[in-house]
Structure 1
Amino acid sequence: MDCDRSFSINVQQLQQRFRSLQRSLHPDYFSQRPQLELNGVELAKGTDSDIDVEFLKEIMEINETLAEPNNEAKIEEIESFIEVKREELTKDVSKAFERDDLQEAKKLLAKMKYFENLEDKVKSKKNPS
């Protein structure tokens, strides 16, 4: 993408480069190519097997709490917890990119996805359709 390999990047520069590449490349040209790989780390593979068991237990407990009826106070607590964890993970991902530790960045980004899913569940509990 012709920008520094970092989690914190110049968004405007990235958008301009993306538009330029978008005009010159089309996904159909590359549909038969192997999965995306960066420095030997396959990014497109599932990452659940890389996540530690304690983390998965924590996520399950939060999901169980969210499933309980009449738990408004707990939902607020979970929402705050998710915000703190997201900030921590964002910093950790940035540091992993700075160290060029793509395997660690991959694991951390998978964890971020779990918290994103939890955040969606919290929002749907707070604002049921």
Structure 2
Amino acid sequence: MECDCSFTMDIQKLQKKYLQLQRLLHPDNFSQKSGREQDYSKNQSALVNKAYKTLLKPLSRGLYMLELQGLKIEEGTDSAVNSELLMELMEINEALDAAQTPQEANDIGQDTKEKLADLTEQIDTALNKGELQTAKVLLTKMKYFANIEEKVKEKLSSFM
């Protein structure tokens, strides 16, 4: 994808490279070619899609960067989650469940976006300093807030 191995990324440059690669590799371009070339195109196009999806969002990008350094966040082993964060998450989820209007859900969504933006900055700083354990803790928190962001979207769609 010709991008720096950095948490901070030029998304427009990433999108441009993605489209450029898909124009070259998309299976539709190989419909008149041999089966081997069609399979190659399909596999390469799938890899480009996976890379793009991974790099596009800060959470998946950060998790990938940790994985490159040999660190993974295992499900169910979130030692970074303290009782204070759990209480905050529980309160946000309860408020979202109780939201009666799109505006109430939007307010929760806006707060969550701000938290995610702040976490993104903190993760970028930690990764730039080589503080992988700190980045791992912050990415664990980001994972929870990204989950709330998805719940907000679901709640907003239920109002329609």
**TM-score normalized by structure 1?**
0.68
Partner of 1:42: 71
Quick one: percent identity of the two aligned structures?
Answer: 39
> Residue 7 of structure 1 aligns to which amino acid in structure 2?
F
Partner of 2:7: 7
Structure 1 position 90, deviation (Å)? 0.7
Structure 1 position 89, deviation (Å)? 0.7
CA distance in 1, matches of 2:85, 2:67: 26
RMSD of the alignment, in Å? 3.1
> Residue 7 of structure 2 aligns to which amino acid in structure 1?
F
Partner of 2:155: 125
SS in structure 1 at match of 2:79: helix
Partner of 2:123: 93
1:54 to 60, 84, 109: 84
Structure 1 position 72, deviation (Å)? 3.8
> Residue 64 of structure 1 aligns to which amino acid in structure 2?
E
SS in structure 2 at match of 1:48: coil
Gaps of 5+ in 2: 22-43, 48-65
**TM-score normalized by structure 2?**
0.56
Question: Is contact 1:5–1:97 with CA below 8 Å preserved after alignment?
Answer: no
Structure 1 position 64, deviation (Å)? 0.8
SS in structure 2 at match of 1:110: helix
Does residue 116 of structure 2 align to residue 105 of structure 1?
no
Structure 1 position 109, deviation (Å)? 1.1
